Amino acid sequence: MRKVYLSIFMILTLSFLFGCSKDNESNIVKKLSKNLDDIKSYYLDADLVIQNNDDEYSYKVDVYYKEGDYYRVNLLNKENDHEQIILKDSQNVYVVTPSLKKSFKFQSTWPNDSSQIYLIASLYQDILNSKDRIFEKKDDGYRFDVAANYPNNSNLVKQSIFFDKDLNLKSADVYNDSNALQMSIKFNSIEIGKDIDDEIFNLDSIISKFDNEENSDSSSEEKEDNDKSDEENNASDVASIDDIIYPLYIPSGTVLTDEEKVAKTDGERVILTFDGEKPFILVEETVNANKEFSIVPAYGDPYLLPNTIATISDKSINWISDGVEYYLVSDVMSQIELVEIANSVTKITENK
């Protein structure tokens, strides 16, 4: 009889412990849901690292959010100081590239329908929507392992999201199907409820800011042009593609069958044709900064490659890196294959 009571006691004790653990997770999730509903605005700064095989790319990230689906994400590449801005206002999505004085305009659902490691709502929603999440209470806070949702890159399958004891978001990691780390972000500071001026989300204000900074930098420098000859002053700097970039990754059964270099008015263009089981075309052409900001229509969605923001659609991906614009298109390849090729080209250009 004593053994029976002891067994019942152990079962009740284990049930209580497991019940408390489950209730703890349930309570944490409820608090996260309430915290998300309460967010009307925020500003955060973070450090983002993207892995591409053996290479690592680091970004300084600043994010502004305001109720009404207004977003501004500043991404500064720490290696080359290349800055780009993803901007979403009430109607459109833009990718602003100040160094080229170009703004690409999208009719896009970004940032919805996909995980975004640098956005609070995206990380929270991935936790709340996960059917198979794993919860762990740690000495310094909490950890959630949940599925990642990257439709344009199905290799990104899992993410770990960390909070401190007060449920402040601290960091997040994204892994591929081999459990290799692909992206990681550390949130340095998050200001929930920050009063953010509407001008932060105004494209014209962003353009004016960079124009004013450029004019200020120019006026502060010594003018050496006066010492140059008229010939030097009037010379046109026509860019050229000195080295054709070939992708490191090419789908099996596919080979390079043709390459053509043609002259443009302001530079050069290279067309690489690959035929076989997975045919595709890779176009590389020089790109120069505009004298004034221009808005260029873009078809697809913004997509963060290791060293730049690209435009990705069902059949193509294009991006600009180190003064060269790349356009990759295929009628038969999946988006993940397009991304793999683009990543292999990105790796080469960074290692040159």
Rg (alpha carbons) of the chain, rounded to whole number = 25
Longest dimension (CA), the chain: 108
Alpha carbon distance 333, 321 (integer Å): 23
pTM of the model: 0.84
Residue 12, pLDDT above cutoff 80:
no
Q: What is the pLDDT of residue 219?
A: 55
Termini Cα distance of the chain: 78
Residue 208, pLDDT above cutoff 60:
yes
Residue 13, pLDDT above cutoff 90:
no
Which amino acid is residue 89, in one-letter code? D
Q: Band the pLDDT of 152: cuts 50, 70, 90.
A: confident
3-state helix vs strand vs coil in the chain, percent to 5: 30, 40, 30
Alpha carbon distance 346, 156 (integer Å): 18
**% of the chain residues with pLDDT over 70:** 84
Q: Band the pLDDT of 10: cuts 50, 70, 90.
A: low
Sign of the alpha-carbon dihedral angle for 265, 270, 276, 279: negative
Architecture in CATH of 33-192: Clam (2.50)
Alpha carbon distance 73, 65 (integer Å): 9
Tokens for 302, please give them. Answer: 């913004």
Q: Are 167 and 28 in contact (CB under 8 A)?
A: yes
Give tens-digit pLDDT for 15-51: 444 444 444 889 999 999 999 999 999 999 999 999 9
Q: Band the pLDDT of 290: cuts 50, 70, 90.
A: confident
Residue 213, pLDDT above cutoff 80:
no
Give tens-digit pLDDT for 276-285: 999 999 999 9
Q: Band the pLDDT of 268: cuts 50, 70, 90.
A: very high
Question: Which sequence spans correspond to the domains of the chain?
Answer: 33-192, 254-292+313-351
For the residues 145-150, what does the mean pLDDT come to? 94
Tell whether omega for the bond before 111 is within 30 degrees of 0, i.e. cis.
yes
**% of the chain residues with pLDDT over 90:** 65
Q: What is the pLDDT of residue 22?
A: 47
309-312 and 316-321: which strand pairing?
Answer: antiparallel
300-303: long-range contacts, CB 8 A cutoff, minimum separation 24: 300/106, 300/108, 301/106, 301/108, 301/109, 301/110, 301/114, 301/152, 302/86, 302/93, 302/95, 302/106, 302/108, 302/110, 303/152, 303/339
Residue 241, pLDDT above cutoff 80:
yes
Give tens-digit pLDDT for 153-192: 888 999 999 999 999 999 999 999 999 999 999 999 999 9
Helices (H), the chain: 2-38, 120-129, 203-220, 230-234, 335-351
